[in-house]
A = this chain, B = another copy of it.
């Protein structure tokens, strides 16, 4: 590289004049930054030019021509540490016409550095400030890497399923009735009537199975009108959904889903090490662990998971369901005992699952359903579904859903449907937990929650 001429478009992350003859820049391009140097020299760079360049606002976009030079000492402030650019020409392509809400340098600094700093007072950029000014926040090398990884997860999801003959479908987000559970559904004014936003593609993807698509997947927004402002809930997120006909047993779906996650984890680790490392500089985390080898992924039944918690001191009477707090606790128990951040719970009690869940044929109080976990948080929920219309109507009534309000859905099964199962993955949860970002909003480009609809 040494001696190569380069021409690039970059952001001015910082600029600093040294005397009147030299200006140092930190130039940023997505997940990389490099030091660049403008030196006054006769006939090439005038003093006025250097003065103008030193005054360029942070976050200006510049077009730079220069020569790559090896540096004697590694440059710590840039991701490219072994070379710098000696600038011969610099042009401003886009300047700033407002006050920067915070510097990208501040926004990229790890929390530990802020706490450890004794002589300097580093500015802490709070999450709300970041999200209010998301366009600047997204420019950090960290966020550029986060969203490259989000892209990668979607890509791997597709790659794996396409190799297994799945068809991508697009199901409508506007629904005529408030499906599944009416309480958490957004209502839309629809000409002279109303519509509702789909809170999952569940019913539509099952109808696709009844329509002979055999194996389908969808990547699309799902909407939840839940007024909860936790670190892991948003009102709009991206669902990675799939549904497939099964031959003999619902474990066919379970195994396929498990294979999908293993494929994702391996690909991320192998192909995106640089991006993971970039994120880790700002968000230090233990490397995400899963089990490879013949033993395979840890699968616990719901009953076994409860036993683990009881043994750890949770009163059994609190464990009709496993709440968020106990999920996290279970994650810690499993990590300590089995050395994995990824595991599956199978065979949930029927009482905890929606009406379309297939009961366990051997014990109707249980169901053929499962959740997948990463670092003690649920990232997938799935099950075998009921394909028998009589049983489906019965389970609707048992769960307080009037079959009459679900006509077209119920009809799909009356028209003949193979046994099938599937699951829905929360994209942002997988991304947040793989990277340990601690708040799901960091895993969404422009997050939406009960209090946020902008930008």
Contact = CB atoms under 8 A, between A and B. Distances in A.
Interface of A: 9, 11, 28-30, 59-61, 93-98, 100, 133-136, 138-139, 144, 147-148, 150-151, 154-155, 158, 162, 167-177, 186-191, 195, 197, 204, 207-208, 210-214, 219-221, 223, 225, 227, 235-236, 238, 245, 247, 387, 389-390, 407-409, 411-419, 427, 444-448, 450, 453-455
A212 B98 CA distance: 18
A415 B136 contact: yes
Nearest to A138: B211
Contacts of A211: 134-136, 138-139
Given A135-B412, A212-B11, A453 B30 contact: no
Contact of A186 (B136, B189, B212): B189
A317 to B, nearest CB: 35
A136 B207 CA distance: 10
A95 B223 CA distance: 35
26 contacts: A9-B247, A9-B418, A11-B212, A29-B212, A61-B416, A94-B416, A94-B417, A97-B390, A133-B411, A134-B207, A135-B211, A138-B208, A138-B211, A139-B212, A151-B168, A155-B168, A171-B445, A174-B223, A176-B453, A186-B195, A187-B188, A190-B225, A204-B445, A207-B455, A220-B220, A411-B455
B147 A167 contact: yes
A399 to B, nearest CB: 21
Question: Which 4 residue pairs are nearest across A and B when measured between Cβ atoms?
Answer: A408-B455, A176-B453, A138-B211, A98-B414
Contacts of A219: 219
Given A97-B390, A409-B455, 19 more contacts: A9-B247, A93-B419, A94-B417, A95-B416, A96-B415, A98-B414, A98-B415, A100-B415, A138-B212, A139-B211, A155-B168, A173-B221, A176-B454, A187-B188, A188-B189, A188-B197, A190-B225, A191-B227, A407-B454
A172 B414 contact: no
Nearest to A60: B416
A212 B168 contact: no
A235 B61 CA distance: 39
A110 to B, nearest CB: 20
Nearest to A198: B221
A245 B390 CA distance: 56
A189 B245 CA distance: 37
A283 to B, nearest CB: 19
B162 A61 contact: no
A416 B11 contact: yes
Contacts of A408: 135, 454-455
Contacts of A446: 171-172, 204, 207
A147 B412 contact: no
Contact of A97 (B139, B212, B414): B414
Contact of A59 (B135, B191, B390, B416): B416
Nearest to A408: B455
B389 A135 contact: no
Contacts of A135: 207, 210-211, 408, 411-412, 415
Contacts of A407: 454
A214 B30 contact: yes
Contacts of A445: 169-172, 204, 208
A442 B411 CA distance: 21
Contacts of A173: 173, 221, 223, 236
Residue in A11, A208, A446 with the greatest tally of chain B CB atoms within 10 Å = A446
Contacts of A223: 173-174
Contacts of A195: 186, 453
Most buried by B among A30, A175, A221, A445: A445
Contacts of A98: 411, 414-415
A106 B197 CA distance: 34
A245 B147 CA distance: 18
B147 A94 contact: no
Contacts of A453: 174-176, 190, 195
A64 to B, nearest CB: 14
Given A204-B445, A220-B220, A147 B169 contact: yes
